[in-house]
Amino acid sequence: MSELLQLVNLLAPFFGLIALGYAFGWHGRRRRGEAGLAWMQFFLIYVSLPALFFRLIADKPLEQLTNWPFVIATTLCTYIAFVLALIAGLVFTRGDMPQSVMQGVAGSYSNIGYMGPPLVLSALGAGAAAPVALIFVFDNILLFSLVPFLMAIAGVEKKSFAATAREVVWKVVTHPFNMATAAGVIASVTHLQLPEPADKMVTWLSQAAAPCALFLLGVTVALRPIVRMPGEVPFLVVIKLILHPLLVWLMLGLMGNFDPVWVFAAVTMAALPPALNIFVISTQYGVGVERASACVLTGTIASMATLTFILWLIKTGRLPPNPFL
């Protein structure tokens, strides 16, 4: 019972901030609308979260950041979850490829930016920083590459294959999270020590990421209430919250004996609810906006139970690091 109480105390602030954002967003949706979100989103994407990812890996040994078997296993599982969710989307939308691509993202892309780092580090300690950073970087590269290409194939992007490829590469290279990660790797390799004032600024900015992101998630969902629950949403939530972490656990077990903290970090990252980025992507393409809102809201609520259960298994030692040993 004490372990469960500890988990409730761990998770309550995360979901509490989302609920707080939802309450304020619902209350002020008619008077304030979405105009006030722009600068908060800018602060998160271009300032606070990059500072967090730089801080996560700048002091990590290089060998932790080049664990390719781990990268291959976790990224492959994200890809498998994407394909399964894409198939579910194709079935429910009767072959609508653009809509189904958005469903693929909803069933595979975790809230690895907003919830991932603070939650996993709080649950597992500083030793989880390197796997968290690796999953974030390579899941982003996979999905930010897959989505534009599939949307181009579906005819939503009216660009040539070469133009789409150039745009994808540019977006991946210049994404602020990936640039911050690259800066962190350089700092790790060169043993760079920031001047004390700069180091304190980076620390403050990184500490602001989680509360701002979770509050923003709640506000954003509140401003886009669900009019109708699409039939495929429960299937996507099951893929995201149950099947994805199960795949990660099994795949890491098949590929070797990884550090238990790395395994549990990967499983927890996979068990996170669908990311708010799904809504951003669907809005960008003008496809599946209502479905995206339904997936984020339903997945976030359902994850309160599933994530608590998975962390309880980890904390009580009921989940072995390798299921095949």
* Model confidence pLDDT, tens digit, residues 121-161: 888 988 898 899 889 888 888 887 788 778 777 766 566 76
Answer whether residue 323 is part of any domain: no
Full-model pTM = 0.86
For residue 307, the model assigns a pLDDT of: 92
Answer whether residue 63 is part of any domain: yes
Structural domain total, the chain: 1
Answer whether residue 240 is part of any domain: yes
Averaging pLDDT over each range in 4-8, 75-79, 292-296, which range is the top one? 75-79
Mean pLDDT for all residues in the chain: 85
Q: Is 110 helix (H, G, I), strand (E, B) or coil?
A: strand
Answer whether residue 324 is part of any domain: no
For residue 252, the model assigns a pLDDT of: 97
CATH number at residue 304: 1.20.1530.20
For residue 32, the model assigns a pLDDT of: 65
**Among candidates 68, 61, 183, 178, which has minimal Cα distance to 130?**
61
Who's near 78: CB < 8 A, 6+ residues apart?
108, 109, 139, 142, 143, 244, 270
* Model confidence pLDDT, tens digit, residues 93-106: 888 888 888 899 99
Using the predicted structure, report yes or no on whether residue 23 has a pLDDT greater than 80: yes
Across the range 294-316, mean pLDDT stands at 90
* Model confidence pLDDT, tens digit, residues 158-177: 667 677 778 777 877 787 87
Answer whether residue 162 is part of any domain: yes
Judged on CB neighbours under 10 Å (0-12, 13-18, 19+), 43 is: middle
**Among candidates 273, 277, 289, 288, which has minimal Cα distance to 237?**
273
Residue 91's pLDDT band (boundaries 50, 70, 90)?
very high
Answer whether residue 258 is part of any domain: yes
Alpha-carbon Rg of the chain, whole angstroms? 19
Answer whether residue 78 is part of any domain: yes
For residue 320, the model assigns a pLDDT of: 95
Please report, rounded to a whole number, the percentage of residues in the chain having pLDDT higher than 90: 31
Answer whether residue 110 is part of any domain: yes
Distance from C-alpha of 28 to C-alpha of 24, rounded to nearest angstrom = 6
Distance from C-alpha of 195 to C-alpha of 68, rounded to nearest angstrom = 32
The residues facing 110 across adjacent strands are: 274
* Model confidence pLDDT, tens digit, residues 287-304: 877 778 788 889 988 998
H-only helix segments in the chain: 2-32, 37-43, 49-57, 68-92, 97-106, 116-124, 129-153, 161-174, 176-190, 196-222, 233-238, 244-255, 260-270, 277-285, 289-315
Using the predicted structure, report yes or no on whether residue 325 has a pLDDT greater than 70: yes
Using the predicted structure, report yes or no on whether residue 56 has a pLDDT greater than 90: no
For residue 174, the model assigns a pLDDT of: 81
The residues facing 274 across adjacent strands are: 110
Residue 248's pLDDT band (boundaries 50, 70, 90)?
very high
Range of the domain at 276: 2-315
Lowest-confidence pick of 81-95, 262-276, 289-303 = 289-303
**Among candidates 217, 209, 215, which has minimal Cα distance to 176?**
209
